[in-house]
Amino acid sequence: LDHVEELPLASQPKLLRLLAERRYSPLGGSDTRADVRFAAIAGEDLPARVERGAFRADLYWRLEVLTFRLPPLRERRADVLPLAEALLVDLAERFGRPASLSERAREWLPGHDWPGNLRQLRNLLERELLSSGSERLDPEPSRVAGETTAKSLEQAEREAILAALAWSRGRQGRAAELL
């Protein structure tokens, strides 16, 4: 459950029931048993939300079996390059094209604050892989900060086509439907 802290208070009893009793009632259906396990990820401090009344204490205690605190990327800069390499392996396999980082990218990536953490890093690498014609990726530091750069219509179309092909896993007919 990603961003479990954003689950509305009105929905929290339903999740609590599923966790406590392993039962749920689908809309319009009858009571059903479920054998499930959850991994919950919170971007905000859940105990603080419990204190403010924004998250149910009983649900928090059900979820809080084993807790890991992952510091943001800005606090573990040494992890940025290994994470980028692992993400590139995954993206290269997904898009069917080899990719590696340029030396310039290897120099500046660890120094960036990465306010969007792993998602921001992954999105940067995916965007660069889709828009680059080269195997050697050299993302611009300025694009990470959220600045936009003007694109030609041809570039925008190329990126849209590549993204559609990626989503359709290379099926051209499905990509055409998406476009």
Find where tokens 């359709």 sit.
Answer: 168
| pTM, full prediction | 0.61
pLDDT at site 18 = 92
Where helices occur in the chain by DSSP H, the ranges are 12-21, 46-52, 57-63, 80-95, 103-108, 117-131, 141-144, 153-167, 172-178
Per residue of the chain (179 residues), give pLDDT as tens.
888 999 999 999 999 999 999 999 888 888 999 998 888 988 788 999 999 999 999 999 999 888 888 888 999 999 999 999 999 999 999 988 899 999 999 999 999 999 988 989 999 999 998 888 788 998 887 665 554 556 678 888 888 888 888 878 888 898 888 78
